[in-house]
Amino acid sequence: MTGKPDPRIRNIVILTGAGVSAESGVPTFRGPDGLWEGHRVEDVALPEAFRRNPLLVQRFYDERRAALSRVEPNAAHLALARLDAEWSGALLLVTQNVDDLHERAGSKRLLHMHGELKRALCTGCGAASPWSADLSGAPACPRCAAAALRPDIVWFGEMPYHMDIIEAAIDACDLFVSIGTSGAVYPAAGFVDHARSCGARTLELNLDRSAGTPMFGEVRHGPAGALVPEFVA
Ligand code: BJW
């Protein structure tokens, strides 16, 4: 992309999913080694699960937050950060991931549509804040002190973040690239359709076929750590 610019492409939207972090050692959600061992993610990633057993849910997220310190950005995150730094047109990296590997790699034009492990959300006043190291168990909100903090993660049935900005970027994009996502979760799974209807080129980079594969104009199969640097070069 940076070496041989296609003059028809100025505006790029890139969507990433769990597959982009898999080679860093962050587990994906679905498939045999899926994250919510023994459960379907659709059954547990729900606000009701938190209301039923907040301590269990907090503990799960405490462990994942701690695990972030043991992983590093991989070649795919680094290539996307390089593209961000070098691409003079519009670029928006939309990640469904709640890890911080894109920002640690250096991506700046980045939005987390499903929230972030390192942020907390007050169940009472709705204030979002960084998740500080001393928060664990079922902490109370430091601002209103009246309600409990929850992980700032978008669970099923909740509205993903930044939808207005994302939809506007897709409206204007010439190229939509989806990397390492199963295409099983909406609204992200519908972005490719939206991009196509706006006349954009669409490209999927995934280890295997995904639910979304038939909707893409171009598809490349392989590990993100190899495909993304190749795409960016
Ligand atoms: C590699 C690789 C390598 C591996 N290299 N690739 C019926 C029909 C349509 C919609 C609905 C419906 N019923 C309910 C809905 C809506 C619902 C939904 O989509 N449900 C589906 C189950 C059907 N969606 C929602 O509720 C969303 N909100 C919403 O819709 O609000 C209303 C609204 C209306 C209008 C406009 C806008 C909004 C909220 C969804 C929240 C998702 N939250 C989670 C958080 C889990 C909590 C946690 O983190 O613990 O987000 S669920 C989970 O799935 C997580 C992920 O971001 C998301 C997507 O997963 P992802 O990234 O695709 O991972 P995997 O594991 O599925 O796939 C990995 C892929 O990588 C695979 O393809 C591999 O091949 C590949 N891979 N290694 C390249 N090395």
The verdict on whether residue 180 carries a ligand-binding annotation is yes
Task: Tell whether the model's pLDDT for residue 5 goes beyond 80.
Answer: no
Q: How many CB atoms lie within 10 A of CB 108?
A: 11
Strand order in the sheet with 175-179: 110-112, 91-95, 12-16, 175-179, 201-206, 218-221
Average pLDDT of span 12-41: 86
The verdict on whether residue 16 carries a ligand-binding annotation is no
Q: Which long-range contacts (CB under 8 A, 24 or more apart) does 37-46 make?
A: 42/156, 45/153, 45/155, 45/156, 46/155, 46/156, 46/157
33 and 128, same domain (yes or no):
yes
pLDDT tens-digit series, residues 143-160: 787 778 899 999 999 999
pLDDT tens-digit series, residues 169-227: 999 999 999 999 999 999 999 999 999 999 999 999 999 999 999 999 999 999 999 99
45 and 33, same domain (yes or no):
yes
Q: Of 153, 168, 201, which one is at a domain's C-terminal end?
A: 153
Task: Tell whether the model's pLDDT for residue 74 goes beyond 60.
Answer: yes
The Cβ-side half-sphere exposure at 101, using a 13 Å CA radius, reads 30
Q: Is 114 a catalytic residue?
A: yes
Tell me how far the alpha carbon of residue 210 lies from the centroid of ligand 1, in angstroms. 12
Report which of 59, 58, 64 is spatially closest to residue 29, judged by C-alpha positions: 64
213 and 130, same domain (yes or no):
no
62 and 138, same domain (yes or no):
yes
126 and 209, same domain (yes or no):
no
174 and 211, same domain (yes or no):
yes
76 and 187, same domain (yes or no):
yes
222 and 146, same domain (yes or no):
no
Q: What is the pLDDT of residue 203?
A: 97
SS (H, E, C) 137-199: CCCECCCCCCCEEEEEECCCCCCCCCHHHHHHHHHCCCEEEEECCCCCCCCHHHHHHHHHHCC
The verdict on whether residue 13 carries a ligand-binding annotation is no
Strand order in the sheet with 115-122: 128-130, 115-122, 149-153
18 and 42, same domain (yes or no):
no
34 and 87, same domain (yes or no):
no
Task: Tell whether the model's pLDDT for residue 1 goes beyond 80.
Answer: no
Pocket of ligand 1 (CB under 6 A): 17-19, 22-23, 28-30, 41-42, 45, 96, 98, 114, 153-160, 163, 180-182, 184-187, 206-208, 210, 223-224
Relative to beta strand 201-206, strand 149-153 is unpaired
ipTM of the complex as predicted: 0.95
* 3-state DSSP assignment of residue 208: coil
pLDDT tens-digit series, residues 87-137: 999 999 999 999 999 999 999 999 999 999 999 999 889 989 888 766 666
Testing ligand 1's pocket by substitution, the residue of 186, 210, 216, 230 carrying the most ligand atoms inside 8 A of its CB is 186
226 and 167, same domain (yes or no):
yes
For ligand 1, atom 37, the nearest C-alpha belongs to 187
* 3-state DSSP assignment of residue 152: strand
Testing ligand 1's pocket by substitution, the residue of 62, 159, 185, 220 carrying the most ligand atoms inside 8 A of its CB is 185
The CATH number covering residue 38 comes to 3.30.1600.10
d(CA 85, CA 175): 17
Q: Which two tokens stand for residue 221?
A: 């199969």
For ligand 1, atom 12, the nearest C-alpha belongs to 186
The verdict on whether residue 45 carries a ligand-binding annotation is no
Q: Which residue has the higher pLDDT, 138 or 206?
A: 206
Amino acid at 97: N
77 and 170, same domain (yes or no):
yes
* 3-state DSSP assignment of residue 104: helix
The DSSP letter of residue 134 is T
For ligand 1, atom 72, the nearest C-alpha belongs to 182
Q: Of 153, 171, 206, which one is at a domain's C-terminal end?
A: 153
Domain count, the chain: 2
Q: What is the pLDDT of residue 137?
A: 62
d(CA 128, CA 200): 34
Task: Tell whether the model's pLDDT for residue 3 goes beyond 60.
Answer: no
d(CA 127, CA 94): 22
Domain range enclosing 64: 29-70+117-153
The CATH number covering residue 168 comes to 3.40.50.1220
Task: Tell whether the model's pLDDT for residue 12 goes beyond 70.
Answer: yes
